[in-house]
Each structure stands twice: as C-alpha cells, then as structure tokens.
Amino acid sequence: MPELIIPIVIVSVILLILIVSGIKVVPQAKAYVVERLGAYHETWQTGLHFRVPIIDRIAKIVSLKEQVVDFAPQPVITKDNVTMQIDTVVFYQITDAKLYAYGVESPIMAIENLTATTLRNIIGELELDQTLTSRDMINAKIRSILDEATDPWGIKINRVELKNIKPPAEIQDAMEKQMKAERQRREAILRAEGEKASNILVAEGKKASQILEAEAEKEAAILKAEAEKQAAILKAEAEKEAILRINEAQAESIRLINEAKPDEAYLLLKKLEALEKMADGQATKIVIPSELQGLVGLVNTIKEAK
C-alpha cells in the first residue's frame, strides 16, 4: 500500500498543476487567439477561460487598444518634380484578433509599406504648393485607402497625419524669400493704405475747418450787417426825432407869437434878423422882398444921420 500511495500523490499533483496552469484570465482590452492541435480554435475575450493542457495553446495575445506608429520619412516626388521627405503617423486599432493573427505576416511592416506607396501615388498627382496646402485632403485619402486595404487583416485605420514635410534646402530657401517678399509687399500696401486714410482724414478736416470758417465769416457778416442796419435805423429815428422836436419847437414858437398878436414893427424886426442871417451865408446874391426895401432905406438914412 505505501508503494501505491506515492505514485497516486505524484499523479494528483501533476494533474493539479496541469489544471491550474490551464486556467487563464484575459485582462481588459486584450484578446487571446487559441489554437487546438495547431489549428485555430477560438478567441478569448476579457474574463476567465480554461485551456486544455497540451492540446490547446495560446497562439497570439492581441491588444485591442488604439495604437500609434510613427513611420520614418519617405522620399516622394511631386508632379512638378520636387523631391521631398514626408513622415507619417498612423493611428490604428485591431478589431478582429483572428484576422490580425492569420491575415498577414508582420502587419506593422505591411502598413508602413502600404502607407509609403499610397503617399507616393497621392503626392505624385500634386504640385509642391498643393502638397503644402492640402494636408487635410492627403490625410483623408491615405486613411481611406489604408482602412480599405487593412480590413482583411482585422485592422481599422482611425487616423493618418503627415507629421513633417521637408522640401529640399534650395526650395525651402526660395520659399522663405518669397514669403519675405510677400510680407514686405503686404506691409507696403498697409502703409500706403494708412497714408491714404490719413490724407483723406486731413483733407476732410481741412474741408470741415474751411466750412466752419466760412460759416463763421458769414455769420459775422450777417451780424455786422444787422448791427449796421440797426445803427442806421436808430440814427434815422434819432434824426427824425430831432427834426420833429425842432418843428414842434418852431410850431410852438409861431403859435405863441400868433397868440401874442405882434405888431408890424416886431415882424419887420424878425425879417431883418432873417436877412442878416442870409447875409452871413455863402450866397453871392440876395433877393430882398419889396416890402422890406423901404425899411432898408430908412435904416440906411438913420445910419447916415448918426
């Protein structure tokens, strides 16, 4: 009996080890490709699984996460025969572990070669300027072609980016000179437009100032004319008032004289005073009324008698 117990224990331990070794836990975002007797059996997803010892084996462990691969720069020739170096970045994800394991040998190398040939085909149809300004279009075309080509391999191409585009040194130098000239041209245009706007503003300011000055002069002339008019009116009214006062005074004097009923001698005296005033004037001839001639003769006789 003791001789039988030892083999049984050994066999039990071996069986236990085989059973334990056959238990597998697939972690998140992983997939196990399992072969049975050398042929594909199944794909294990996340969770607990049991592998039959010796018969089953895990052929490939596949990551289901999105992955990034940066390919080295590739020489490409544009439609206008300019050789440049372009490197690409590809974002891909494995969607079918079985196809990925058995679809193609070295999938990453296959994607790299396919990316290089696709890039050469697309760039070969574009000129240098179009290549530099059409990154989005190039990225979309490459992604579409790669996604269709890698579908049988269980790979989905999510995104493709042109990382760097390096034209030859002489082309790059010429482009920099062209950009510098363009910036200088734009600067000259902006300066000219600024000077033009400044001159327009100055001219408009002068025009507005001249208009204001003309309006001010016109207003001053109007005020001056109104002042002169008002002064002339006041002067005329003053002269009119003075004449009226004189006439009223004369009329009052005549009325008083008439009311006093002066005699003939007083009237003759007034006439003589009027003649005396007339004689003091600039007139060379004086006409004496006939009724005063006798009085003048009497006056002369009296002067001679004295």
Q: What is the pLDDT of residues 170-219, one digit of tens each?
A: 777 777 787 788 888 888 898 888 888 888 988 888 888 888 888 888 88
Domain edge (last residue) among 136, 167, 198: 167
On whether both 56 and 94 belong to a single domain, the answer is no
Domain edge (last residue) among 104, 136, 167: 167
On whether both 50 and 72 belong to a single domain, the answer is no
pLDDT of residue 73 exceeding 80 = yes
Domain edge (last residue) among 39, 63, 87: 63
For residue 132, count CB atoms less than 10 angstroms from its CB and return exposed for 0-12, middle for 13-18, buried for 19 or more.
middle
Provide the domain limits for residue 178.
Answer: 169-252
205 is a domain residue: yes
Between the CA of residue 266 and those of 12, 79, 275, what are the distances in Å?
185, 137, 14
On whether both 161 and 178 belong to a single domain, the answer is no
284 is a domain residue: no
273 is a domain residue: no
92 and 156 Cβ atoms separated by less than 8 Å: yes
Closest CA to 161 of 142, 133, 139, 138: 139
% of the chain residues with pLDDT over 90:
26
- Count of structural domains, the chain: 3
96 is a domain residue: yes
The reported pTM is: 0.55
On whether both 53 and 141 belong to a single domain, the answer is no
| Rounded Cα–Cα distance for residues 55 and 37 (Å) | 6
On whether both 27 and 78 belong to a single domain, the answer is no
The residue that leads in pLDDT, 283 or 11, is: 11
46 and 27 Cβ atoms separated by less than 8 Å: yes
Tokens 């056959």 -> residue? 22
| pLDDT value of residue 269 | 62
Q: Which amino acid type is present at position 9?
A: V
On whether both 148 and 188 belong to a single domain, the answer is no
